[in-house]
Structure 1
């Protein structure tokens, strides 16, 4: 059964820069369906600031034919062994909105135990360069909403130059995430996400875009000295 994984790893500066120009993940990796290698970013940070793009912090989003393929990669591949020493979460697909090439959306969909179970959300898009100013205008308020939301346990953005952008967030419950999406959260300016989605529908920011929702299966390692981000069910 298809499995997704999301990895966060700190790399030496030179290695991280090299990865931007030469992806260390071979496309012919056995059992790998698709991967996206990205540089981590701070949600909501000013665009022109050192805190925005976190060189040396790498996010990798991957889809595998099965869990054995992931296990073998983490044990046998040079870069995979580096990922094995970092943090990652294994994910079972629940739902998709939009389309994004490369990933193969499974026919089988996991079911959360309840609306109070934790979920993981990943958005990924290929930007239209001329739409970047509009995207920043509408997107940064949404980034701050997700970053500061009491329902998120871990959240970040990432980029793969020149035009791939993504977000990753772990939510305490599916209900808190869907309330945020529809503007029902008990926070300041709760409509930021729904307003941005209306603007995207009016005039798209992207060539392709998807939001993927997952059931977290298992978590491994530490990120910035912390572990056990997935809330117990």
Structure 2
């Protein structure tokens, strides 16, 4: 059965830089790897131009696999995979897609549904139009802080691959709490409130898109492995 995975690991800077530049070529050389995104972690809400925006040694990988066996083989036998195996990752069952980016556009828009009280993982991936970069960060940084500070999120982070690939990853206690954040509902909601940041940014994106490609993906977490910065048990138990 095909799965996705999201990984966080500390990687030597030179190896991380090589992966950012040429990691996509792994799909031709790694058996069972159908799509991969190599990214550098950043601090949510950090200034648009700062060292916190690209943290080269703190590496994220989002991947689509033919099977769990293919992922297990990569983590055990591939040089970069062994670095990832020493970090943290979650294995994911794809549920739903909005929008599309190259390489993931063949995923069906919807393959199932989730209950409101289920834990959920959300991944966004975007290719930003470079002339819209200033607008993107002006609208995006408040949303980053909103997601980071949401009580329903057990982990929320963002990652980049310069010059124009941007991704967010978040783990939520429940589908309902994630929806409340996205729609600007829940505690503290109201016109002009912090809870309205995400909804307002979506309206602005519809008015004039920041992206050449954009997708939001929803997943059911299957299993969690390892630890990240001393944390384990990041995925709530359903």
Asked if 2 retains the 8 angstrom alpha-carbon contact of 1:2 and 1:106, the reply is no
Q: Does 2:192 correspond to 1:190? A: no
Asked if 1 retains the 8 angstrom alpha-carbon contact of 2:35 and 2:65, the reply is yes
Q: Which runs of 5+ in 1 are unaligned?
A: none
Asked if 2 retains the 8 angstrom alpha-carbon contact of 1:93 and 1:106, the reply is no
How far 1:148 moved relative to its partner? 0.5
Q: Which runs of 4+ in 1 moved over 6 A?
A: none
How far 1:110 moved relative to its partner? 4.3
Q: Distance in 2 between matches of 1:9 and 1:106?
A: 29
**Residue of 210, 223, 227 corresponding to 2:228:** 223
* 1:156-167 correspondence to structure 2 within 5 Å: 156-167=157-168
How far 1:13 moved relative to its partner? 2.6
* SS at structure 2 position matched to 1:218: strand
The residue that corresponds to 1:10 in the other structure is 10
CA RMSD of aligned residues (A): 1.6
* SS at structure 2 position matched to 1:27: helix
Q: Deviations over 1:2-24 (max 9, x none)?
A: 20000001012333233333328
Total equivalences in the alignment: 232
Q: Distance in 2 between matches of 1:66 and 1:175?
A: 29
The residue that corresponds to 1:200 in the other structure is 205
* Residues 35 and 228 of structure 1: CA distance in aligned 2, closer, same or farther (over 3 Å): same
Q: Distance in 1 between matches of 2:126 and 2:168?
A: 9
How far 1:71 moved relative to its partner? 1.3
The residue that corresponds to 2:107 in the other structure is 105
How far 1:222 moved relative to its partner? 0.6
How far 1:78 moved relative to its partner? 1.5
Asked if 2 retains the 8 angstrom alpha-carbon contact of 1:111 and 1:215, the reply is no
Alignment TM-score, normalising by the size of structure 2: 0.92
Q: Distance in 2 between matches of 1:42 and 1:17?
A: 18
How far 1:106 moved relative to its partner? 4.7
Asked if 1 retains the 8 angstrom alpha-carbon contact of 2:98 and 2:217, the reply is yes
Q: Does 2:215 correspond to 1:214? A: no
Asked if 1 retains the 8 angstrom alpha-carbon contact of 2:96 and 2:109, the reply is no
Q: Deviations over 1:99-142 (max 9, x none)?
A: 11102315872443x21111000000111000111111111110
Q: Which runs of 5+ in 2 are unaligned?
A: none
In proportion to residue count, which structure has more helix? 2
* SS at structure 2 position matched to 1:51: helix
The residue that corresponds to 2:124 in the other structure is 123
